Chains A and B, each alone.
Chain A
Amino acid sequence: QAVVTQEPSLTVSPGGTVTLTCGSSTGAVTSGHYPYWFQQKPGQAPRTLIYDINNKHSWTPARFSGSLLGGKAALTLSGAQPEDEAEYYCLLHYSGPWVFGGGTKLTVL
């Protein structure tokens, strides 16, 4: 199965902007991969933030946005808050099987 890659860790200053990316070993990430983004804090179940590239849920803060950028899926956080410190996972669909990325540990410091 494909391998999905994410930055292992990133740091952002409070109020700052950061972009997390999600790449595929099979080539460019496209809309056909229906990229999802999840947030997970220690001891909690994952929470779906973004689905199908850039669709948000009612609980997704407006400061999070999804896109396709340079052949990858991207999650941009604009105006980081301390409560955004968490692990972030992307998920790509491969016409049947799904594959998670390894996760990005985001530190707000």
Chain B
Amino acid sequence: EVLLVDSGGGLVQPGGSLRLSCAASGFTFSSKWMTWVRQAPGKGLEWVANIKEDGREKYYADSVKGRFTISRDNAKNSLYLHMNSLRTEDTALYYCARPVEGYWGQGTLVTVSS
């Protein structure tokens, strides 16, 4: 059974940092591009970032470029999202995903507020 378990969300002040994690199992994680997607409360889906199998190619949405870093540890079957300089507009449910195969985490909620 494929599982993506998202964790690391919480309440953080504007300007703060947070690291999200995604634990993958049930498929060959090290051979798959992976993705982070977010959804602000009551809003639509927003693509955040992609990372290649070996971590050497990464792409970011303009809204997070320079502030967020996607990374992975294939030995631990884990995906990460390092978020710095957080803004109130980053408040959202963050999903780890492999959309082409229909793999989605349950999401982890990030709230940026003073």
Q: List chain A positions with a Cβ less than 8 A from chain B.
A: 1, 36, 38, 40, 45-48, 51-52, 57, 59, 87, 89, 91, 96-103
The number of inter-chain residue pairs (CB within 8 angstroms) is: 55
Is the beta-carbon distance between A97 and B59 smaller than 8 angstroms?
Answer: yes
Q: Which residue of B lies closest to A103 (CB)?
A: B44
Q: List chain B positions with a Cβ less than 8 A from chain A.
A: 35, 37, 44-47, 50, 59-62, 95, 97, 99-102, 104-107
Q: Which of A36, A87, A96, A100 contacts B46 (CB 8 A)?
A: A100
Task: Please name all residues of chain B whose beta carbon is closer than 8 Å to the beta carbon of A40 when the two chains form the complex.
Answer: 45
Quote the shortest CB–CB distance from A11 to chain B (angstroms).
19
Task: Please name all residues of chain B whose beta carbon is closer than 8 Å to the beta carbon of A46 when the two chains form the complex.
Answer: 37, 45, 95, 97, 104
Is the beta-carbon distance between B99 and A47 smaller than 8 angstroms?
Answer: no
Task: Please name all residues of chain B whose beta carbon is closer than 8 Å to the beta carbon of A52 when the two chains form the complex.
Answer: 100
Q: Which residue of A lies closest to B98 (CB)?
A: A48
Is the beta-carbon distance between A45 and B47 smaller than 8 angstroms?
Answer: no
Is the beta-carbon distance between A100 and B44 smaller than 8 angstroms?
Answer: yes
Q: Which residue of A lies closest to B100 (CB)?
A: A51
Is the beta-carbon distance between A89 and B104 smaller than 8 angstroms?
Answer: no
Contacts A48-B99, A91-B99 given; indicate if A100 touches B47 (C-beta within 8 A): yes
Identify the interface centre among B37, B45, B104: most chain A CB within 10 Å of its CB: B45
Task: Please name all residues of chain B whose beta carbon is closer than 8 Å to the beta carbon of A103 when the two chains form the complex.
Answer: 44-45
Task: Please name all residues of chain A whose beta carbon is closer than 8 Å to the beta carbon of B59 when the two chains form the complex.
Answer: 96-98
